[in-house]
Amino acid sequence: MSGRLLVVEDEEHLAAGLKLNLELEGYEVDVATTAREAGEQLLGPAGYDAIVLDIMLPDFDGFELCKRLRDAGNFVPVIMLTARSSAEDRVRGLEVGADDYLVKPFSLEELLARVRSVLRRREWEQGSRENEEPPRTLEFGRAKIDFDTHEVLVSGEPQKLTQLELDLLRYFGEHPHRVLSRDELMEKVWKLRNYSYTRTVDNFIARLRRHFEENPSQPQHFLSVRGAGYKFVPDPDATATAS
């Protein structure tokens, strides 16, 4: 697989190691050692397919950089590197629009799997855009989503969703009322097969609930099915009447 990556990491030996290993896998890799430098490179002509972004940087941190990117309408996939395994960091990363994260120290294999996953998703996303096959819009409850323009409205209020949140939402939209296992979602949305990291799915369901449910702790649309996975119910009132 090929692609152009930006590694943002101020520890130079670590940045050099990541660059070397990613290049050995066939990627083109640039390195930025500060958030400011990364920002400039992202504005430049190169055009990146994904960013590997460390949180701890000398000027401003990875959370802030990611947030600025998303605020500017840049939805390039971001894999965050967190030094601590604290849930708080992970949640914060996902909230500012990171697509995935890795806890240091991580194995090279793990990093490569995540990179492949975000690039595959991106390819799939671009491919599906060309094919015009999947639905372009989705409406349920108070929500209206346009997958082309990334415009998401909940009760008329614009929401910012990451590419991965949109991919997951689209997959649910294509398979309403069906129980979808975490493994199926990992495979179809994250493009990862036989991958045990299914907590990722749970984190993203929590994010969709925060965006779309009136009461995220009592979801009406994104339902947990114990021991099986999740089910998307676009029209809970109609479903309740019918059963």
Q: Interface residues with Ca ion (CB under 5 A)?
A: 10, 54, 56
Shortest separation between residue 29's beta carbon and Ca ion, angstroms: 17
Shortest separation between residue 55's beta carbon and Ca ion, angstroms: 7
Shortest separation between residue 9's beta carbon and Ca ion, angstroms: 6
Task: Give the residue at shortest CB distance from Ca ion.
Answer: 56
CA of 128: how far to CAs of 34, 116, 134, 171, 220, in Å? 35, 18, 7, 12, 29
Q: CA angle, 107 as apex, 102 and 112 as ends, to 5°? A: 75
CA of 41: how far to CAs of 8, 65, 114, 178, in Å? 10, 12, 22, 43
Residue number, 102 or 153, with CB nearest to Ca ion: 102
**Is 218 buried (19+), middle (13-18) or exposed (0-12) by CB count in 10 A?**
exposed
Shortest separation between residue 38's beta carbon and Ca ion, angstroms: 12
Contacts of 42 (CB under 8 A, 6+ apart): 6, 48, 51, 69, 74, 76
Shortest separation between residue 40's beta carbon and Ca ion, angstroms: 18
CA separation for the pair 8, 51 (Å, rounded): 7
Residue number, 56 or 153, with CB nearest to Ca ion: 56
Residue number, 69 or 81, with CB nearest to Ca ion: 81
Residue number, 10 or 187, with CB nearest to Ca ion: 10
Residue number, 104 or 160, with CB nearest to Ca ion: 104
